[in-house]
Copies of this chain bind each other. A is one copy, B any other.
Amino acid sequence: VLNRRDFPFGVGALTEGEAEARFHGEVVPAMQAAGLPAILCGMVGSNLGWRAVPYLDCPAGFAAMGAALHPVAENVWIVPGLRAQRPDGGPDVMRGEEVQVFGWVAMAEDRQAGEHLICHPGTHAKWIRLKDGRIDTFVTAMTGELFALARQHSSLRAPGAVEDEAAFALGLAAAADGGALASRMFTARARVVGGDLPAASAESYLSGLLIGAEVAATPALLGAGPGARVEVIGDPALCRLYCKALERKEYSTTTTDGDAAVIAGLTALFRMKTQS
C-alpha cells in the first residue's frame, strides 16, 4: 500500500441517490487522477449505496465472486455481496466481509483446503463456514448494533462509562449458554439499581454479556462447538474481546487484522481482473 485516503460517507447518513453522486464526484476522479482502477466492496453495492448489485448465492468461491464483479464506470467495479440459506432457516446476507474472507485465504497457502470457521465481529458480526476455499454458509449476529442501541437509546445507558475488565468478565460469565438474552440484558440495569455493580461499569458488563452470548450460541447454528478453532478477522481491539470470550469457551483462536485482509482480497481481485 503506497497511499491511503478515507472518504467518510457513512451509509446510514446518505440520502437517496447521494452515494452515486458522491462516488462519481469524489472517489472516481481521485482514482482516475492516480491512473488506477477501482474495486469497491461493502454497502456501496446495496440499495443504500451507489448501485444495488444482486447477491451471489452461497456456496460461492473467489473465482465466482471475481467473475461477478459489476462494472459501474470505466475501470470501476463493485463486488457483489453474498446470500446464504441459514441452517436455522431463511436467508442471510453480507456485503464486504466476503472480500476479507477471501483475502484471509489468499494470505497463506494452506487455507484453500479443508473446513474453517471464521468470525468477523462488528456491528453485524458474521460467522462463516469456509469449505475448500468456498463460503459454504454463514449467519449474522447483530451484537454490535444491540450494544450501540443499548448504550445510546435504552434504559441501560449509563453516563460516565469506564473500561472495566472485571465487569467484562462478569458479563461473559452471566451470558451462560447465551439463552434468555432479553432477560439477561436487563441484569445490566438490575445489578446497578440493586446495588451489585457501579453504574460506570455497566457498559463493560453489557459488552461481556452480549459478546459472551453470541459466542455461546452462534457457532452451534453452523454445527460448530467448543474445541473448534476460530479464525477471528476484524478490528484488532474488538478481536481481542472476542478472543477472550472464545477462549473462555475453549475455542482456539487466531487473529487477523481486517484492514490487512480486505487489502489482500482486493489485491487478489485486481490481479484476477488485470490478468484476465
A residues neighboring B (CB under 8 Å)? 46-47, 55, 83, 86, 88-93, 124, 127, 139-143, 145-146, 149-150, 152-155, 174, 176-187, 190-191, 193-196, 210, 213-214, 217-218, 220-221
What number of copies of this chain does the assembly contain? 2
Tell whether A142 pairs with B93 under 8 Å between CB atoms, given A55-B194, A149-B149, A194-B55. no
The reply to whether A214 and B141 form a contact with Cβ atoms under 8 Å apart is no
Once bound together, how far apart are the Cα atoms of A154 and B149, in whole Å? Answer: 7
Q: List 7 A-B contacts (CB under 8 A).
A: A46-B193, A90-B191, A124-B155, A139-B183, A181-B181, A182-B213, A183-B218
Once bound together, how far apart are the Cα atoms of A86 and B188, in whole Å? Answer: 13
The reply to whether A153 and B142 form a contact with Cβ atoms under 8 Å apart is no
Once bound together, how far apart are the Cα atoms of A213 and B86, in whole Å? Answer: 18
Once bound together, how far apart are the Cα atoms of A47 and B199, in whole Å? Answer: 14
Tell whether A182 pairs with B141 under 8 Å between CB atoms, given A55-B194, A154-B149. yes
